[in-house]
Amino acid sequence: MGHRLTSGWGLYPTVTAHVHTARLPVHLKQLLAAGGTWLPQGNCRSYGDGCLAPQVVSMLALNHLLDFDPSRGTVRAQAGITLDDLLRFLVPRGWFLPVTPGTKFPTLGGCLAADVHGKNHHLDGTLRNFVEQLDMVLADGSEISCSPQDHPDLFRATLGGMGLTGIIYAATLRLRRIESAFIDMRSVRTGSLAEAVQVFSETHANYPYSVAWIDCLARGRQLGRAIVMLGDHAAPASDQPDRELTVHRSGSVSVPFFLPGPTLNRWTVKAFNTLYYHRQWRRDVRTRVHYDPFFYPLDAIGNWNRIYGRKGFLQYQFVIPFNNGMEVMTDILERIAARGAASFLAVLKTMGPQDGLLAFPMPGYTLALDIRRSDDSIIPFLRELNETVIAAGGRNYLAKDAIMPRDQFERMYPGLEEFRRIKRTVDPEGRFKSTQSARLGLS
């Protein structure tokens, strides 16, 4: 057991926590029997305080593969395995994750708890659509397996349930067959937000993966200039068949220390964004790239979260319905640009329909921005933006959130009452609790 300062990937907030490492599934029951409130914790790659609590059980040592069935295309693994580790096993055997977030360092359990989406959300939905079974330990120490057929309520609430319904110790996933580790990528430089959205709508049927990188500091007519990236798994190239299923390399360049606060300011970020935007000279480029830079570009820079300095940063991600989404996004981007709230990346993508009680996605646009926490005045500013999001019928993503007040949360998530009802039945004493769930009234 260790007593240490913990934080999510955004480095804010920090919580001093007792961290107990479960080395065997049986330890989970033993810890729960000892009393108190708990939160299962993975690799802390969610940004805010959804992964934090004063007393956590680290799942990182429960990281074993349990079963792999190539005839059915399924894998069963313990929840503490990272996507990085899963890919190392799956890719050489011709399989890929059905849904992956933009980093390969979260654990499987963390991805299930946040019900993550990927660049293919508009076609495939979130990770929940590929889960066959969850094996869990509940608050009373009992073991239970749930699926869409068995204990469907628990299954529904646990996916996206931020670790608050019980501890997932293993899960079975349906995989995606690939013939190559490479992606056929098309990147299109667009001059405005409207143009980027136009590219999305024209290409959605042809490309399962799509995302746009937006320059938030460009103003006026250039507002929302972007690079739209589209992709699909490549067919094997005939010249080097044995290299077609090569796994990603380990190792990366690392940010060795915290950059001093003022390193990133509106001028340096503007320069970066302008360079990034103009790096692509032609408007429309088609290339073949490995899955690693396509899905996980920032994984190549270890500890990139340190570039925002010791005070950390907030990642602000919201989704809004299509109907007046363009105007709302423009409004929000303008307000962020006017404030000079420096952001390296703004990531835009369209989302499709989604089931789930605390599911983040809905048909519409989602925008994610990094916002340096230079001082706490940024928090009321972002809460004002939340009001705009709510008025447009949208919501914020719990895996990124560190600052949302309870009343805003309650207006964003219509499935909340149903979630609370199920949580009361499986965790009547409120044994599973995070810093976030306490703030949002989820536990």
Token pair, residue 140, equals 């009373």
What residues are paired with 38 via a beta bridge? 432
65 binds other proteins (CB under 8 A): yes
Query: Should residue 78 be labelled a site residue for other proteins when binding is judged by CB under 8 A?
Result: yes
Nearer to other proteins, 85 or 215 (CB): 85
Q: What is the C-alpha separation between 230 and 370, in angstroms, rounded?
A: 22
- H or E stretch at 337: helix 325-339
Distance CA 38, CA 158 (A): 15
Question: If binding is defined by CB under 8 A, does position 283 make contact with other proteins?
Answer: no
> C-alpha 308: how far from its chain's center?
19
Residue 23 interacts with other proteins (CB under 8 A): yes or no:
yes
Binding range to other proteins, per CB under 8 A, among 65-73, 291-299, 304-312, 435-443: 65-73
Q: How far is the CB of 166 from other proteins (least distance, A)?
A: 19
Q: Does 64 bind other proteins (CB under 8 A)?
A: yes
Ordered DSSP codes for 367-424: EEEEEE-SSTTHHHHHHHHHHHHHHTT-EE-TTT-SS--HHHHHHH-TTHHHHHHHHH
Q: Does 68 bind other proteins (CB under 8 A)?
A: yes
Taking each helix axis as running N to C, give the angle between helix 378-391 and helix 325-339, from 0 to 180 degrees, rounded to the nearest 10: 170
Integer Cα distance of 130 and 136 in angstroms: 17
417 near other proteins, judged by CB under 8 A: no
By DSSP bridging, strand 301-302 and strand 253-254 are: parallel
d(CA 246, CA 188): 27
Name which of 25 and 54 has its Cβ closer to other proteins.
25
The verdict on 62 binding other proteins (CB under 8 A) reads yes
Q: Which lies closer to other proteins via its Cβ, residue 24 or residue 271?
A: 24
Residue 392's contacts (CB-CB under 8 Å, 6 or more residues apart) are 320, 321, 324, 325, 328
2 is an interface residue for other proteins by CB under 8 A: yes
Q: How far is the CB of 57 from other proteins (least distance, A)?
A: 14
Q: How far apart are CA 225 and CA 253, in angstroms?
A: 29
Q: Where do runs of H (alpha helix) occur along 204-314?
A: 266-279, 291-295
Residue 18: CB atoms within 10 A of its CB come to 16
- With respect to other proteins, which residue has the nearer C-beta, 21 or 203? 21
Stretch of residues binding other proteins (CB under 8 A), selected from 19-27, 249-257, 258-266, 297-305:
19-27
Binding span for other proteins by CB under 8 A among 48-56, 57-65, 102-110, 360-368:
57-65
Least distance to other proteins, CB of residue 65, Å: 5
Binding residues for other proteins, rule CB under 8 A, total: 15
Any contact of residue 26 with other proteins (CB under 8 A)?
yes
Structure-token pair, residue 37: 């409130």
Interface with other proteins in residues 82-101 (CB under 8 A): 89
CA 77, CA 173: separation in Å to the nearest integer? 9
Residue closer to other proteins by CB (options 67, 429) is 67
Least CB distance to other proteins at residue 92 (A): 10
79 or 214: CB nearest other proteins? 79
Does 67 participate in binding other proteins (rule CB under 8 A)?
Answer: yes
Nearest to other proteins of 170, 269 (CB atom): 170
- CA atoms of 341 and 346, how far apart (whole Å): 12
CB of 254 to other proteins, least distance (A): 18
Q: In the complex, which residues of this chain contact other proteins (CB under 8 A)?
A: 1-2, 21, 23-26, 62, 64-68, 78, 89
